[in-house]
Amino acid sequence: MRVTVLRSSGAIGLAAGALLAATIAPAAAATSGPGTGSAYGASATVSVLPGVLGAQGLTVDTGRLAASSTSGPGSASVVDAPLKGLVTAKAITSSANHSESSGQVRATASIVDAALPVLAPIAGRTPTAQAITAKCTSTADGVTGSSELAGLDLGRLGKLPVSTGPNREVGVPGVVRVIVNEQVRHADGSLTVNALHIELLGGKATAGLGSGDIVLASATCAAATTPPSTPATPAPGGGQVSVIPAGAPQTGDGSLATVIED
């Protein structure tokens, strides 16, 4: 059974189909050159093995929830979002902005009160987090990013601090890999920050969950743009400076004279 979860005006759409055949890597938030950025709150593309979430197995493809970009919409939100038993969240938000005056790009995505039932069989209990945030900023000095995960408890998989260095990994070999503060540099110079990236590896080990990817809080920033040129500073007193040609009546002696006109 294939389940596609779409959140619109509080409604969830469901559609039937076939199971995914293999793990699908999550696409980075799209950019299209300097001055662009984007973010989304959550996404899941997962085939869950039979017996984990239903006798027949389950395939979930949510798309990107609460997606925003510098080309619009600039912000988005979803409340009480269930990703079909894989993840639940009280609120998901994102925003992306490009400042014409400074050239800077900023993008952020946040999730409040998240739970991960999909990891319960191997974590010993349902992992939870009070808040999950990914952000990036692009300035003339370059593109930087960070993640914060307040109250993240992954059960037997381990606890992690609120702030951690890029690409911290925990998990069970052959079953699941959890990447915290995942940071991916792209060939065009843009940066994608995924606060929490869960890879189900489709292994045959006991409690194997299936295959696919879940991303919670993702932000992408491309390079900053060059700010507009600063207008020339006028002469003290606000006057305009004029040079009078030689021999003009204003000089009297045939020399050049500089006159400040208020």
- The one-character DSSP state at 69 is E
Largest Cα–Cα distance in the chain? 105
Cα dihedral 177/183/184/190 (nearest 10): 160
User: What SS3 class is residue 260?
Assistant: strand
Per residue in 179-203, pLDDT tens? 999 999 999 999 999 999 999 887 6
Going by C-alpha positions, the residue among 47, 63, 46, 92 that lies closest to residue 5 is: 63
In the chain the first and final C-alpha atoms are separated, in Å, by: 79
Q: Report DSSP letters for 154-203, one per residue.
A: -GGG-B--SS--TTEEEEETTTEEEEEEEEEE-TTS-EEEEEEEEEEE--
CA distance 145 to 137: 6
Give Rg (Cα) of the chain: 27
CA 170 to chain centre: 21
Per-block average pLDDT, block size 10, for the chain (262 residues)?
32 29 38 88 82 63 93 94 82 96 96 92 90 96 94 84 82 88 94 95 64 94 86 55 54 52 52
What is the pLDDT, as a whole number, of residue 141?
94
CA distance 119 to 126: 7
The two beta strands, 128-139 and 11-13, are unpaired
What is the pLDDT, as a whole number, of residue 121?
84
Amino acid at 149: L
What is the pLDDT, as a whole number, of residue 158?
76
Q: How many helices and strands, by DSSP H and E, does the chain display?
A: 1, 17
CA distances, 211 to each of 44, 47, 105, 203 (Å): 11, 5, 34, 8
Per residue in 104-146, pLDDT tens? 999 999 999 999 988 888 889 999 999 999 999 999 999 999 9
Q: Report DSSP letters for 219-243, one per residue.
A: EEE-PPPPPPPPPPPPPGGGPEEEE
Please state the domain extents for the chain: 26-43+65-221, 233-262
CA distance 193 to 149: 13
pTM: predicted TM-score of the whole model, two decimal places: 0.74
